[in-house]
Amino acid sequence: MASAMYRVAVNVADRFVPTRLRPLWEHPTGPKTIFFWAPAMKWSLVIAGLADIARPVEKISMGQTASLAATGLVWSRYSMVIIPKNYPLFSVNFFVALTNVCQMGRIALHSSTTSSDESIPNDEAK
């Protein structure tokens, strides 16, 4: 049912696409395919990662951050070996990985400064 509605919507929109945007519209990874919409929706992960920069480091999960970074790296590579190459998929996954690697750096920096602060005895800290 949903795919039939999508095909109808694409056929209606097809009439309104300007000639100079036709190559993008007709591209194998263009808006007429899932290869466009999946990466477009995945940008929400990048936005969430950027929003987490304002979050206290103690509230960020290292496991979740590491898995998102690994997923971004794996899918970045995959998007370059499939045919057709999916550049929108590559870009979103690259930024998912980049955002989460930065978060992992924040977590590592925080844990190293926290552990070094705790290793100093109280009478030496004065």
Q: Domain residues of the chain, as ranges?
A: 1-28, 33-125
Question: What digits encode the pLDDT tens for the residues 49-63?
Answer: 999 999 999 999 999
d(CA 33, CA 111): 44
Percent of the chain whose predicted confidence (pLDDT) is above 90: 49
Token pair, residue 83, equals: 């045919």
CA dihedral defined by 116, 118, 121, 126, rounded to 10 degrees? 80
Q: Are 29 and 84 in contact (CB under 8 A)?
A: yes
Q: Return the top range by mean pLDDT from 4-8, 82-86, 108-112.
A: 108-112
Is the pLDDT at 125 greater than 70? The verdict is no
Task: Enter the pTM of the model.
Answer: 0.72
DSSP code of 27? S
d(CA 74, CA 93): 8
